[in-house]
Amino acid sequence: SLCHSYSSHPFPRASYFVEDWGCKFQPSGDPYMSPTSIDYAVKSTQDWARLEVLDPPKGVLAEHLYALQLISEGLRGEVPFVQTVFSPLTIADYLVGRQKESLLTYLREDPQSLHQGLAVIAESLSTYGQRCLESGVSGIFFAISGWASRDLLTEEEYAEFGLRYDLKVLTAIHDGAFFNILHICGNNTYFDLLSNYPAQAINWTVALPGNPSLREGLHRTDKAVMGGVDQNTTLKDGSPEQVVAEVCRAIEQTQGLRLFLAPGCSISPQVPETNLRAARRARDNFGAGKC
């Protein structure tokens, strides 16, 4: 289902992955915007070599492992749940203050230093992912935030700086998870390059330029496809009736086969609850043969 239960409590902040490496953030002042970076860990080539492998039972990561334990206890095995883990290259982007041009400079002018940093990040995320599984999660929502895209890298560059480290993390958690989700964020994604990752489902925004439709995705992977509801337009600004219509189109494209109905990426806090409930209602109507 689109959602199991509704909570007014905030979800984990995306920045927590890099806080134990010294990155600092402050509230943006806008309740709908993510925290603002005020200091970051990698400011020179030498800083990649200074990164140390994180110990998840300590620091900020430990807080989130404890939260996962509480969630697991609260759900009592009644429903699967997953924890988001960003890809190593996504984490590297946070470590340079989310300045993509800076990371691209390291990638193309000092690849050895970046590889050194990515190896440390991948090892840290591998251990953290395993600890998440021990805390009760069913799997990992492995998020590649914009880097597996023709807009930023060549396919060869992503294979060298992305894929090899992605697979290290996913391989480390594969045996202990029964439901891993691969999230490919952005336009013009390298869908085919990533389609064989060890995951049970692939999530992406079908409406963005250069991305396959759900129907095309079904033919290009043996994984389940996850998406169909546009989080940037229909879900956020549309009417409940428009949400229902988009859900029905997604089901028509796939015949309901290997489909997890979902947004293509994270949703805005401004999404009306009525639209979330409309998506769920449309899914239920399909189950009753009414969509």
The CATH number given to whatever domain includes residue 140 is: 3.20.20.210
pLDDT of residue 32: 84
The answer to whether position 227 is within a domain reads no
Domain count for the chain: 1
Could you list the residue range(s) of the whole structural domain that residue 65 is in?
Answer: 39-199
Nearest of 202, 206, 214, 166 to residue 187 by alpha carbon: 206
The answer to whether position 254 is within a domain reads no
The answer to whether position 255 is within a domain reads no
**Helices 164-174 and 88-95, packing angle to 10 deg:** 120
pLDDT of residue 283: 82
The answer to whether position 114 is within a domain reads yes
> Using one digit for the tens of pLDDT, what is the confidence trace for 43-93?
999 999 999 999 999 999 999 999 999 999 999 989 999 999 999 999 999
The answer to whether position 47 is within a domain reads yes
Instruction: Give the pTM.
Output: 0.92
Tell me the C-alpha to C-alpha distance, in Å, between residue 248 and each of 112, 119, 281: 49, 43, 11
Question: Cα–Cα distance between 98 and 95 in angstroms, integer?
Answer: 7
The answer to whether position 43 is within a domain reads yes
Check residue 203 and report its DSSP letter: E
pLDDT of residue 43: 97
The answer to whether position 234 is within a domain reads no
Q: pLDDT class for 289, splitting at 50, 70, 90?
A: low
pLDDT of residue 3: 44
